Amino acid sequence: MEKAKKKMTPKECVVLFNKLWNEGNIEDFDKTNAPNMVYHHGDRNMTTKEFADFSKEFAKGFPGNQYHIEDIIEDKERNICAVRYKWVGKHTGSFFGVPATNKEMSLIILEWDVFDEEGRFVESWARYDTLDWMKQMGLM
């Protein structure tokens, strides 16, 4: 008899996804993302595969970048979480055509997440201060 898979809480899913990202383990995003997951990032809406491809490009520009969970507010009844992250990275590689600046950067990212009955991401909205990002990269 096969052992039943334990359902994750929204908070557990966020923590696992954060761990996978920080380890550079993009191939395992399917452990946290439902097959129909949509990641809303700025003006983009990405599937899990599109987000994984974006993440690989992102890692080229900011190898070893890390997200630190500052706060999580979880509503288990509604299967939602609000998360505040502090992102840190050093721009040591080309990032979507922007040559490396070797600048250390940090951002606060606010995220709103919705989960399915298995505890996996169905939708995620992430927002950050784009102007601050551009200033830190020396583009403004």
pTM of the complete model: 0.88
pLDDT reported for residue 103: 93
Residue 4 tokens read as 């039943």
pLDDT reported for residue 41: 87
86-98 burial, b at 16+ Cβ within 10 Å, e below that, comes to ebebbbbbebeee
pLDDT reported for residue 5: 60
Q: Could you report how far apart the first and last alpha carbons of the chain are, in Å?
A: 60
Write out the chain's pLDDT in tens, 140 residues. 444 467 899 999 999 999 999 998 988 988 999 999 999 987 889 998 898 888 888 899 999 999 999 999 999 999 999 999 999 999 999 988 889 999 999 999 999 999 999 999 999 999 999 899 889 988 88
Closest CA to 126 of 23, 51, 59: 51
Q: Which fold has domain 10-137?
A: Nuclear Transport Factor 2; Chain: A, (3.10.450)
